[in-house]
């Protein structure tokens, strides 16, 4: 078990016909860290949808010929996926497209529904036929069903939000509209910007706006629906302020890119503060502070500044390999640690090292990294984690669906330190999470068991595709 990214969504509406597929391509490239299993783009040219979706990284799935075949358009949506519900198959690639008597729709989704199983069961009993095993298709069915009795797609989406429960940041395209929505809890980030030529761009993170030359306008509010048309923008806040905001705190610790700003909070700044807090709560007499690339680097810098211990580069990441979390098996993941990271002997040999990382899930990867440093001569290793211990599953878009393999559920901090081979281990205190973002409007259920929604009865990621032998009789 490991922490996986969720997904990244992206959409563009342009006042003029343009090479819009390339804009989405660059936006998805900037969001690649959020999902590396598959990706897709749907282009809308005067109501005609053209799409390309496949397994792999953005650079593998798209090239000049593919982008040229997508053609020009005024609207487009895109998606990068790591599936927290449903397996890694072409069927589950997004955006999902729907052809309906009320018009075409393309839908991209980041998050995870807490009531997906119940909704899907009810839809199937009423005659719906599913082609994927992801909860995104469930959202598409609900919206389409509501569209039959609604005057517009935004009205249908608003009605659907009364039914959907859980995490969802959505970008939806019709023949003439680009629509985005964020669930009332605001679990996952969503923002929009504007380019100099008057195009509007919707993205999971602000870093992708910069990548396509768009200026950040603002975050989408929890519960808000925003409709973009050639005539302008309409904001619908019918579902705003009905729930306590519960932004996923792990977006700031790990998921998001450090150059992104989420809900007016700098991700880089939040990670610096995490490192500073670690230095105050868990000081160490060491010669150097190093971070595990990439998400541990900012916190390591914060630790260094607060402690006065010099910051250095002790681990180098191979930039041409994806995150270890996409590996299908434990043996493969172990091999990839050595392929992905190498230790800088000159920095750590004969020294006492503070090693900063964002989390320990199972402990195997941490154990391997510690071994790399010891092999090149690190004298002592004091590990500091910029998050509290993982103790509970996540139902809102993080691939932790069981406590069974969470090392912190089975062992004390001292035991974990011994298992992974470090001289000391310190976690970020749970009650300091609010300090990272300057508020207490966050979800930390994976750390403290405080779930904002009802807990799903069936939490298995592959519950819609289990083998016959695994199904209940």
Active site amino acids: 7
CB 94 within 8 A of CB 11: no
**Where would I find the beta strands (DSSP E) of 128-246?**
166-173, 178-182, 191-194, 200-203, 215-219, 225-229, 232-236
Residues contacting residue 299 through CB under 8 Å, at least 6 positions apart: 271, 272, 274, 275, 278, 291, 356, 358, 384, 386
C-alpha distances out from residue 79 to 318, 330, 368, 443, Å: 25, 27, 32, 24
**DSSP-derived 3-state class of residue 11:** strand
152, 106 contact by CB (below 8 A): no
Q: Six-digit token pair at 333?
A: 């993941």
**Token pair in block for residue 468:** 């016959």
Q: Is the peptide bond before 74 cis (omega within 30 degrees of 0)?
A: no
CB distance 228 to 179 below 8 Å? yes
* Helix, coil or strand: residue 247: strand
Handedness of CA 185, 202, 436, 299 (dihedral sign): positive
The whole-angstrom separation of Cα 19 and Cα 21 is 6
- The radius of gyration of the chain from alpha carbons, rounded to an integer in Å, stands at 22
Spatial neighbors of 95 by CB under 8 A, at least 6 apart, are: 40, 41, 42, 51, 53, 77, 78, 79, 106, 107, 108, 171, 173
> Residue 216's CB: how many other CB atoms inside 10 A?
17
Tracing tokens 């069915």 back to the chain, one arrives at 141
Pair 287, 351: CB distance under 8 Å? yes
Residue in 178, 187, 80, 96 with CA at minimum distance from that of residue 144: 96
Residue 328: how many CB atoms within 10 A of its CB? 8
Residue 379 has a CB neighbour count (10 Å cut-off) of: 15
Secondary structure class of 246 (helix, strand, coil)? coil
DSSP string, 449-465: ---SSPPPS---TTTTS
Q: What DSSP designation does 252 have?
A: I
């Amino acid at each position: 078990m490991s922490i996986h990214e969720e997904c990244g969504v992206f959409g563009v509406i342009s006042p003029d016909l343009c090479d819009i597929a390339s804009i989405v391509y660059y936006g998805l490239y900037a969001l690649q860290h959020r999902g590396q299993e598959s990706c897709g783009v749907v282009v809308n040219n005067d109501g005609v949808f053209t799409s390309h979706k496949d397994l792999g990284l953005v650079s593998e799935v798209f090239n000049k010929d593919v982008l040229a075949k997508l053609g020009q358009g005024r609207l487009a949506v895109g998606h990068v996926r790591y599936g927290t519900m449903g397996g890694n198959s072409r069927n589950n690639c997004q955006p999902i497209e729907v052809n309906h008597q009320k018009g075409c729709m393309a839908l991209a989704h980041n998050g995870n529904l807490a009531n997906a199983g119940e909704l899907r069961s009810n839809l199937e009993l009423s005659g719906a036929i599913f082609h994927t095993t992801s909860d995104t298709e469930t959202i598409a069915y609900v919206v389409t069903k509501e569209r039959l009795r609604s005057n517009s797609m935004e009205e249908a989406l608003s009605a659907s939000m009364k039914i959907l429960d859980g995490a969802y940041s959505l970008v939806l395209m019709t023949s003439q509209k680009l629509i985005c929505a964020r669930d009332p809890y605001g679990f996952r980030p969503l923002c929009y910007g504007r380019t100099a030529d008057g195009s509007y761009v919707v993205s999971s993170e602000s870093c992708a706006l910069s990548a396509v030359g768009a200026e950040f306008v603002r975050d989408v509010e929890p519960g808000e629906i925003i409709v973009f048309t050639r005539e302008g923008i309409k904001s619908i806040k019918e579902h705003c302020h009905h729930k306590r905001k519960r932004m996923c705190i792990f977006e700031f610790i790990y998921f998001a890119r450090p150059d992104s700003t989420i809900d007016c909070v700098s991700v880089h700044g939040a990670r610096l503060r995490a490192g500073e807090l670690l230095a105050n709560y868990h000081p160490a007499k060491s010669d150097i502070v190093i971070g595990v690339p990439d998400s541990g680097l900012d916190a390591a810098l914060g630790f260094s500044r607060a402690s006065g211990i010099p910051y250095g580069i002790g681990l180098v990441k191979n930039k041409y390999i994806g995150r270890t979390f996409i590996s299908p098996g434990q043996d493969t993941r172990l091999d990839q640690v050595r392929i992905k990271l190498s230790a800088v002997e000159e920095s750590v040999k004969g020294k006492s090292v503070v090693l900063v990382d964002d989390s320990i899930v199972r402990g195997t990867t941490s154990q391997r990294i510690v071994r790399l440093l010891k092999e090149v001569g690190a004298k002592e290793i004091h590990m500091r984690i910029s998050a509290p211990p993982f103790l509970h599953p996540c139902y809102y878009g993080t691939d932790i669906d069981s406590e069974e393999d969470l090392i912190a559920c089975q062992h004390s901090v001292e035991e974990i330190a011994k298992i992974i081979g470090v001289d000391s281990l310190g976690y970020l205190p749970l009650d300091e999470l609010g300090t990272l973002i300057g508020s207490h409007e966050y979800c930390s259920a994976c750390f403290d068991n405080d779930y904002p929604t009802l807990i799903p009865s069936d939490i298995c990621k592959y519950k819609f595709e289990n083998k016959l032998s695994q199904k209940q009789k």
